[in-house]
Structure 1
């Protein structure tokens, strides 16, 4: 897909180009949001809102990379706004978890079923959710994630590490509850 072509056509008012652009990117954006929002209907609404915000930003939009990355960033903000508005999400204070004794391995993600993983991902802070979803569901690299959010790679890696620690703690808690 030639994003720049579509963006130029959309900015000039070509509705067919807009329809095709949305048709191509909607499934990926919706999938990203579904990993953050439990309710499918709300996920659809948030996906719609994401594209509306993208369209509103088009007059001043300057391609700095993939449009999909920009859509992920917008989607992340819309999800955050949803949680904040609905007060369904308890925001944790930003803190660096620096416990060297915790053995964190990415294999915990591979050992979980999709449903289990989604449930524990919902418990993470939004920034950590985004990194886990982009890294493991969409196969983005740390560098690509840092470019999407305009943060240093080291910050992405730190949040990734923190998210894995949180996931491991949550999984250990689930195992304890089962006994």
Structure 2
């Protein structure tokens, strides 16, 4: 009996002191929900779309042990381009940050040190949803926990290069996939 109690105590201690698991890393947003239609605030203003083009509020918790910085990506895999469409790519978000305020990309309220890469509209920062009429597209917002303090990227880095560097340094990810159609 003592042996079973000791084993149970050791297992409990190991569980309590274990580092965060990937499934503990969570992303939430007041602006959107998993599988739900994006609101006009996150829709592009142009290309026939009449949204407000504001980056969404995002908050996360439970990052894996060893996280030294974060990156955020917003990607449409359904865009008719052969390579999808990058709506947002932010790197070098300090590990102390756990929230991005609504509209931060366009109001200059991104965390100090964060670098916004040019999106596929050709400008740095957030570019909202704007699928072709009649199509429903998915928009995958991902926070990446990185094992490095800073990604050394040129100012004009492509989304492919940023994606490669993010992928090479990711310890864990948390995602919300929203949809939009017009």
TM-score using structure 1 length: 0.27
More strand by share: 2
Larger radius of gyration: 2
Q: Which has the higher contact order (CA 8 A, sep 6+)?
A: 2
